[in-house]
């Protein structure tokens, strides 16, 4: 878990961190008082109405009272404990599944496996995080917000009272004011002396104020931050949900491809044939020329539609698997491509085949547009546990995934399948793009 970035001591007062710390502590009563009232009311009403059954739901609700409290406290925690993003390893494209905010301000709760309030409550009662949050709610409602209020009132309120001494004296009805109930001030020179003391004391006390806010935030994280096991579960859940979305997306792509192939394409074929037959029946003249132009245009539209269908989901991938699809895209590449497909790849899950295919398509398209390469090579093999693909070219090198070449989107797609995309591209070449996707073999 990454720590918050440290600010050099001499620059602390020139940042917003002291005031964020003050805001964090001053906002504590705004959540602590409602939590205290809610806990007392739920416990009292539940205990009083327990014998008549209606109190049991109130006591059950009391067990979940820490969940909304923790949600608000995690948001407040961002004032003093932002979660910095992690940079990808050198040569590795970003992995969105792992770059998500799963730091100390992330929720530790999992998504219920089925919809409904009962399933949600059943899961929450089984999670350790629920009881940690309840313990924090009790501690916060009965104790912590009091301490925060005293701390911010002492460390920030005292110098502010001193600073406003001249103003207090100006509005005093009897021409004198008692500063913090200790010193009687009746003249403006003395009032301004106290103001100067406040101006000196304020920056000095901002340091202990920030230190106290940091300690208070650490206590909050100790109760509310996800544990390592919970983080692993959340990452696994994110990966599974994204994989389901990819499967649904691929199914929708295939449906669109099938509808275009069986519907619009067949009607265009029939239209093209009808125009061709009409050309044979019309004598030479202006009408024949118009029919010829319409026939040619229909043929061009049909060709564009076939390219569109191929880009949505190539039929060769469905019919012949990844081996045939990679051989096909290598033949259609603008740069000559040598292929080494390890004597044929096994049939893999459809989402894996689609991601690998479009990954190679993107890599070869980038080679043709940007690399200046004379030749490229595609190597693919399945180890039994993972699909490994390397795309190499002899171009100028210097490929940058962040330069808008489409590699970032490709990395996103590979990461959904828990795979990795690695790029090695020194200046002067060669460039090697490597895909690794863990996957079982569906059939051999």
Task: State yes or no: pLDDT of 124 exceeds 70.
Answer: yes
Q: Which of 152-156, 330-334, 400-404 has the lowest mean pLDDT?
A: 400-404
Q: What is the pLDDT of residue 95?
A: 43
Whether 314 and 357 have beta carbons less than 8 Å apart is answered as: yes
Q: CA-CA distance, 418 to 436, in Å (whole number)?
A: 9
Partners of 437 in the β-ladder: 387
Average pLDDT score over the chain: 79
Task: State yes or no: pLDDT of 146 exceeds 90.
Answer: yes
| Rounded mean pLDDT, 265-281 | 80
Q: Helix 228-259 and helix 286-312: axis angle, to 10°?
A: 160
Q: CA-CA distance, 416 to 427, in Å (whole number)?
A: 30
Confidence category of residue 310, pLDDT binned at 50, 70, 90: low
Q: How far is CA 406 from CA 243, 303, 403, 411, in A?
A: 20, 26, 8, 9
pLDDT digits (tens, 9 = 90+) for 358-405: 888 888 888 888 778 888 899 988 888 888 999 988 888 777 666 655
Alpha helices in 140-187 (DSSP H): 145-152, 158-163, 165-170
Please give the sequence-ordered ranges of beta strands (E in DSSP) within 172-220, or none if there are none.
Answer: 177-179, 183-185
For residue 193, give the 3-state DSSP assignment: helix
Helix, strand and coil in the chain, % to nearest 5: 65, 10, 25
Q: pTM for the whole thing?
A: 0.55
Q: How far is CA 276 from CA 264, 267, 270, 273, in A?
A: 18, 14, 10, 5
Q: Domain residue spans in the chain?
A: 9-226, 240-312, 319-438
pLDDT digits (tens, 9 = 90+) for 60-77: 888 888 899 999 998 898
The 10 Å Cβ neighbour count of residue 258 is 15
Task: State yes or no: pLDDT of 424 exceeds 60.
Answer: yes
One CATH from 3.30.565.10, 1.20.1730.10, 3.30.70.660, 1.10.3210.10 for 319-438: 3.30.565.10
Task: State yes or no: pLDDT of 123 exceeds 80.
Answer: yes
């Amino acid at each position: 878990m990454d720590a918050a970035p440290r600010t050099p001591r001499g620059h602390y007062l020139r940042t917003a961190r002291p005031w964020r710390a003050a805001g964090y502590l001053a906002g504590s009563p705004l959540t602590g008082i409602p939590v205290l009232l809610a806990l007392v009311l739920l416990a009292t009403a539940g205990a009083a109405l327990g014998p008549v059954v209606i109190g049991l739901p109130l006591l059950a609700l009391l067990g979940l009272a820490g969940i909304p409290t923790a949600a608000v406290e995690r948001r407040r925690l961002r004032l003093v404990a932002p979660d910095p993003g992690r940079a990808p390893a050198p040569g590795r494209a970003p992995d969105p599944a792992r770059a998500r905010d799963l730091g100390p301000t992330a929720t530790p709760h999992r998504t219920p496996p089925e919809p409904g309030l009962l399933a949600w409550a059943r899961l929450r009662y089984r999670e350790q995080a629920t009881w940690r949050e309840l313990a924090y709610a009790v501690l916060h409602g009965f104790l912590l917000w009091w301490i925060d209020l005293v701390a911010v009132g002492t460390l920030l309120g005292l110098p502010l009272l001193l600073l406003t001494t001249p103003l207090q004296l100006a509005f005093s009805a009897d021409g004198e004011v008692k500063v913090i109930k200790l010193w009687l001030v009746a003249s403006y020179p003395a009032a301004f002396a106290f103001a100067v003391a406040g101006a000196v004391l304020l920056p000095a006390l901002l340091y202990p104020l920030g230190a106290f806010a940091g300690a208070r935030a650490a206590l909050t994280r100790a109760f509310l931050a996800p544990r390592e096991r919970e983080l692993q579960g959340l990452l696994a859940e994110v990966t599974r949900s994204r994989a389901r979305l990819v499967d649904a997306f691929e199914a929708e792509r295939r449906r669109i491809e099938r509808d275009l192939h069986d519907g619009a394409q067949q009607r265009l074929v029939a239209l093209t044939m009808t125009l061709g037959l009409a050309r044979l029946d019309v004598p030479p003249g202006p009408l024949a020329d118009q029919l010829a132009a319409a026939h040619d245009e229909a043929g061009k539209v049909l060709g564009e539609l076939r390219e569109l269908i191929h880009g949505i989901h190539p039929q060769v991938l469905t019919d012949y698997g990844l081996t045939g699809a990679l051989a096909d895209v290598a033949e259609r590449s603008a740069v000559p491509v040598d292929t080494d497909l390890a004597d044929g790849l096994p049939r893999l899950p459809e989402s894996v085949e689609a991601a690998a295919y479009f990954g190679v398509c993107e890599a070869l398209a980038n080679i043709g547009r940007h690399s200046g390469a004379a030749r490229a090579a595609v190597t693919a093999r399945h180890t039994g546990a993972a699909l490994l693909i390397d795309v190499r070219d002899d171009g100028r090198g210097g490929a940058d995934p962040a330069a808008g070449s489409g590699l970032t989107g490709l990395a996103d797609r590979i990461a959904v399948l828990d795979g990795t995309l690695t790029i090695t591209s020194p200046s002067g070449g060669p460039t090697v793009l490597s895909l690794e996707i863990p996957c079982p073999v569906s059939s051999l």
